Chain A
Amino acid sequence: ETGVTQTPRHLVMGMTNKKSLKCEQHLGHNAMYWYKQSAKKPLELMFVYSLEERVENNSVPSRFSPECPNSSHLFLHLHTLQPEDSALYLCASSGIQELNEKLFFGSGTQLSVL
């Protein structure tokens, strides 16, 4: 257990559905991240929040909408997704005191878009 919890573990949704992924960290960190992991491709950084403020939006389509209500919680709201959005979505957190802080990852949400 890394201290970063993601729910749900698995999600199947149709292209017209709206769903949300949740991430919670119990490590006292002030930065949280969403990564996308597709088959045969490197992990792609999607969003970064530092002190609850979005500091990075890595050219992610608007059908993905992040929300960080406090430093312990991070959401990814999904709507009108495409089949190519099927992937493992990983949340991570870290401290912000220095640049050599390690990232701690959750177990991910395996998303399938039908």
Chain B
Amino acid sequence: KQEVTQIPAALSVPEGENLVLNCSFTDSAIYNLQWFRQDPGKGLTSLLLIQSSQREQTSGRLNASLDKSSGRSTLYIAASQPGDSATYLCAVMRGGATNKLIFGTGTLLAVQP
């Protein structure tokens, strides 16, 4: 059974700092890994999707890496801003006929001005 773990559960950093969020998964047979952002009381916004054949994806100040063999992914946020404060969720897509995602519990990020 696929399990997804995110460390740390919560993180507080001063504005401007570079930071890394970690995600690990137990079954390396995945189609892709996705990072989402969730603001309080809101739905999820897709940030980055890394296909199983890829090593990393970049979007603006965000860079996500994937090491499928070791079951790990990292989300790097450069020059953090208070607007980055949110919960960050990673999810892996398992095999099958539909896009079924298995989620981690998330990392709650607070960027202090």
A interface list, Cβ under 8 A from B: 2, 4, 6, 31, 40-43, 45, 48, 50, 55-56, 88, 90, 92, 94, 96, 99-108, 110
Contacts and interface: CB of A to CB of B under 8 A. Distances in A.
A33 to B, nearest CB: 8
A99 B45 contact: no
A42 B45 CA distance: 16
B34 interface: yes
A108 B32 contact: no
Interface of B: 4, 31-32, 34, 36, 41-46, 49, 51, 89, 91, 93, 97-106
Given A43-B89, A99-B31, A50 B105 contact: no
Given A42-B103, A104-B46, A108-B43, A99 B34 contact: no
Contacts, number: 67
A25 to B, nearest CB: 12
Nearest to B5: A42
A45 B102 CA distance: 8
Contacts of B32: 99-100
Contacts of B97: 50, 55
Main secondary structure, interface of B, reads strand
29 contacts: A2-B45, A4-B43, A31-B98, A42-B4, A42-B103, A42-B104, A42-B105, A42-B106, A43-B89, A43-B101, A45-B100, A45-B102, A50-B98, A55-B97, A94-B99, A96-B98, A99-B32, A99-B93, A99-B99, A100-B32, A100-B93, A101-B99, A102-B46, A102-B49, A103-B44, A105-B43, A105-B44, A106-B43, A108-B41
Contacts of A6: 43
Interface centre among A4, A101, A102, A108 (most CB of B within 10 A): A102
Contacts of B91: 43
A2 B98 contact: no
Contacts of A4: 43
Contact of A40 (B34, B42, B51, B105): B105
